[in-house]
Amino acid sequence: MDILADLGFYLVLGILLVLVLASAIRVLREYERAVVFTLGRYTGTKGPGLILIIPFVQQLVRVDLRTITLDVPKQDVISKDNVSVNVSAVVYFRVLDAQKATIQVENFMAATTELAQTTLRAVLGKHELDEMLAERDKLNDDIQEILDTQTEAWGIKVANVEIKHVDVAESMIRAIARQAEAERERRAKVINADGEQQAAQKLLEAAQIMAKDPGAMQLRYLSSLNFIAGDKNSTIVFPFPIEMASLVPGVKKS
């Protein structure tokens, strides 16, 4: 009986030792880091690979260093020109400092999500609808810069921000279409008016040049006659100035 009791004791002891060793050994992947706390105090960051900790004395928190894709849900935004739109975006970020991401913020994922939503609304609310639709690259850069600055204290690097959708109400789409049509008509009228103004200016300059030289006016008159005479199917009575009689051979000016 004593032998069986001793065997049972050693068996239990062996099992406990195996469990202790198993709890003391940790294997971290290449993209993982372990933030180690000893009796509640931060004592270092370990990994990747095989690491050992003291059971019941040390605890570790695993942190993933890979790039995280954060899908920002649709946000109701009032633009600078008082247009209500729904905007969604995606944020790409990663943890650079595992210690800060664990100690400085309770849940860096939730904190970054909330910060991305509020920043998206704040930045887009300063711009008009046309800018939201036409200047997405600039808005993406502005949002990324703000997020990166504010998350730096958490050991997080925001690599990129992309606005995915800017949804406008159907009634507003029709209003925008009417506005675009009116803008095209306005531009067409302005271009036509500019053309007429330029043509009038050129005619004025030509008239001023010909007024300085009567011979130029007479040549222009003869050129017009030659152009009209090219049409053989019609008879045209055209006044002939006496001043030009001297230019015609055999005709004397009276």
pLDDT at 251: 45
Question: Which pair of structure tokens corresponds to residue 21?
Answer: 């060793």
Question: Which residue do the tokens 């011979």 mark?
Answer: 215
CB-based contacts of 49: which residues, under 8 Å, 6+ apart? 27, 28
Spatial contact of 156 and 102, defined as CB atoms under 8 Å apart: no
pLDDT at 17: 79
pLDDT at 108: 94
Distances (CA, A) of 190 to 186, 196, 204: 6, 10, 21
Helix 136-151, helix 108-124: angle, nearest 10: 140
pLDDT at 220: 65
Distance CA 54, CA 23 (A): 8
Through-space distance between the first and last CA atoms of the chain, rounded to whole angstroms: 161
3-state class of 32 per DSSP? Answer: strand
pLDDT at 19: 78
Q: How far is CA 220 from the centre of its chain?
A: 59
Spans in the chain with pLDDT lower than 50: 248-253
Q: Which CATH superfamily is domain 68-168 in?
A: Band 7 domain (3.30.479.30)
Spatial contact of 11 and 3, defined as CB atoms under 8 Å apart: no
Distances (CA, A) of 60 to 19, 33, 63, 90: 17, 9, 10, 31
pLDDT at 4: 64
3-state secondary structure 162-220: EEEEEEECHHHHHHHHHHHHHHHHHHHHHHHHHHHHHHHHHHHHHHHHHHHCHHHHHHH
Distance CA 249, CA 108 (A): 102
pLDDT at 12: 76
Distance CA 116, CA 38 (A): 34
pLDDT at 11: 78
pLDDT at 117: 95
Question: What does the domain layout of the chain look like in residue ranges?
Answer: 21-64, 68-168, 175-247
Q: How far is CA 150 from the centre of its chain?
A: 20
